[in-house]
Amino acid sequence: MEYLYVKSLHIIFVVTWFAGLFYIVRLFIYHTEAEEKEEPTRAILQKQYKLMEKRLWYIITWPSAILASLFAFYLLYLLPHYLEQPWMWVKLSFVLALYLYHYICHRIFEQLQNNVCKYSTMQLRLWNEVATVILFAVVFLVVLKNAIGWIWGVIGILLFSITLMMMVKLYKRLRAKKDWEKQ
């Protein structure tokens, strides 16, 4: 019974951690887009985005990452035989990659808090997909408990992402052409 409670809490905090990671990059995109606005709109938007980013980052995302990890360690304590399974080591590698992603997001967060925009909105949109790929890989690993099966899930999301990006680019070109024809 203890295992089920700990597993439930782990899943809840993994979900909130990913929600925070997905939303923080969205806020980074909006924050960066605000750079293109005229004053005083730019200043107002950036002040608001800084506040939203700070609250999301320190009230939801960081605590969720820490709690998800604490409950994960407790699960491994309760079920140490999982560490003997190859899929678990692949999963832990993806969790390490997720922490690296989190760290890089933290660096971007700090830069934006200091009014430094080093990334374009397109780069940030692509960056947002990295967390999605990690999520897919981890979910397939945990559900299939197979060190190789996750590859098909990641290939699927990558193909889907590429298709989606191509459609967005096509839409932008068509819209730009239509706007140009109106002038």
DSSP of 128-139: HHHHHHHHHHHH
CB 103 within 8 A of CB 96: no
Confidence of residue 76 (pLDDT cuts 50, 70, 90): very high
- CA 140, CA 70: separation in Å to the nearest integer? 22
- CB burial of residue 13 (10 Å; 0-12, 13-18, 19+): buried
Q: pTM here? A: 0.83
CA Rg value for the chain: 20
CB 154 within 8 A of CB 134: no
User: pLDDT tens digit string along 156-171?
Assistant: 777 877 887 788 788 8
The total of structural domains in the chain comes to 1
Binding residues: 10, 91
Binding residues for heme: 10, 91
Q: Provide the domain limits for residue 7.
A: 2-182
